Amino acid sequence: MSEAEITTRHVRWQRDGKVATITLDRPERKNPLTFESYAELRDLFRRLAAAPEVKAVILAGAGDNFCSGGDVRDIIGPLTTMEMGGLLAFTRMTGDLVKAMRLCPQPIIAAIDGVCAGAGAILAMASDLRFGTARSKVAFLFSRVGLAGCDMGACAMLPRIIGQGRAAELLFTGRAMPGEEAERCGFFNRLVEPASLLAEARAMAQSLADGPTFAHAMTKRMLHEEWDMSIERAIEAEAQAQAICMQTEDFKRAYRAFIAKETPRFEGN
């Protein structure tokens, strides 16, 4: 799949070399999601599995905010009038977006500033790495609108990132978690200044894109698949995964570079 084959209407797409940036682009409303943008993001992450020229992905929000969640006017209002069949179709579709992000082979780095709430917090959670700012506020605010915290995989994924007790408190209360706390509990990998947020995310994305990308994709796959494995099954699965990686040219190039005392050159094969 070439870059020319990717067109978007509800989010902004840009590729610079091996790094793609997806931007939620409604800054005047703090980048809320609509029915259409949910579906477009789901389809976009699915298509990235067939985009070998893209090696890493940045997910960001336009302006000074990441994402305020589902649009109150365009989503929340209509949901209050839907029958069960329509509601279930919607919740399954939003869950499919998270599945697409986790099954997308490229590492996803979320660049989070300002508001990161509701479904926006879920998008951050579903990313592989999260860079935030001190002024960012992360809120899984479903309980504040009368909904359960078990939305789009939050009860499965959030405890694995920050621990069961912290996740329970955030999901029960819906309170906002400031940037320093988000870094302290492990939700953010790094806190950076707002002015350098995208540059830091791009530097990480470029570093990953220049690395052994076949191996990175394998690491992401195993991180995902081993959640429900016993330690015995996980060790065997990793033995098979690592044996596959040992057949790659990247592994052989790294060995030759080590012997020659040179910097290895990776090509993702």
The per-residue pLDDT for 167 is 98
pTM for this model (two decimals): 0.94
| CA–CA gap between residue 54 and residue 21 (Å, rounded) | 10
Arithmetic mean of pLDDT, 25-50: 95
Arithmetic mean of pLDDT, 147-153: 94
| CA–CA gap between residue 119 and residue 135 (Å, rounded) | 19
Confidence class of residue 3 from pLDDT cuts 50, 70 and 90? very low
Residue 31 pLDDT exceeds 80: yes
Partnered with residue 20 across adjacent β-strands are 15, 57
Confidence class of residue 5 from pLDDT cuts 50, 70 and 90? low
Contacts of 196 (CB under 8 A, 6+ apart): none
State the burial class of residue 51 (Cβ atoms within 10 Å of its Cβ: 0-12, 13-18, 19+).
Answer: buried
Instruction: Return the structure tokens found at 41.
Output: 């993001």
Residue 215 pLDDT exceeds 60: yes
Asked if residue 175 lies in contact with residue 139, where contact means CB atoms within 8 angstroms, the answer is yes
Mean pLDDT, the chain, whole residue set: 95
Q: Within a 13 Å sphere around the CA of 229, how many CA atoms are in the beta-carbon half? A: 13
Arithmetic mean of pLDDT, 165-172: 97
Instruction: Count CB-CB contacts under 10 A for residue 102.
Output: 20
Q: Which range has the worst mean pLDDT, 1-15, 108-122, 150-164, 222-236?
A: 1-15
Contacts of 109 (CB under 8 A, 6+ apart): 56, 57, 58, 59, 127, 128, 129, 130, 131, 201, 204, 205, 208
What percent of the chain has a predicted confidence (pLDDT) above 90? 91
The per-residue pLDDT for 71 is 85
Question: Hey, what domains does the chain have and what are their CATH numbers?
Answer: 3-209 (3.90.226.10), 213-259 (1.10.12)
Torsion, Cα of 20, 221, 91, 166 (10° steps): -100
Arithmetic mean of pLDDT, 93-113: 97
Residue 76 pLDDT exceeds 90: no
Q: Tokens 């069961």 — which residue?
A: 164
Confidence class of residue 72 from pLDDT cuts 50, 70 and 90? confident
Residue 7 pLDDT exceeds 90: no
Confidence class of residue 251 from pLDDT cuts 50, 70 and 90? very high
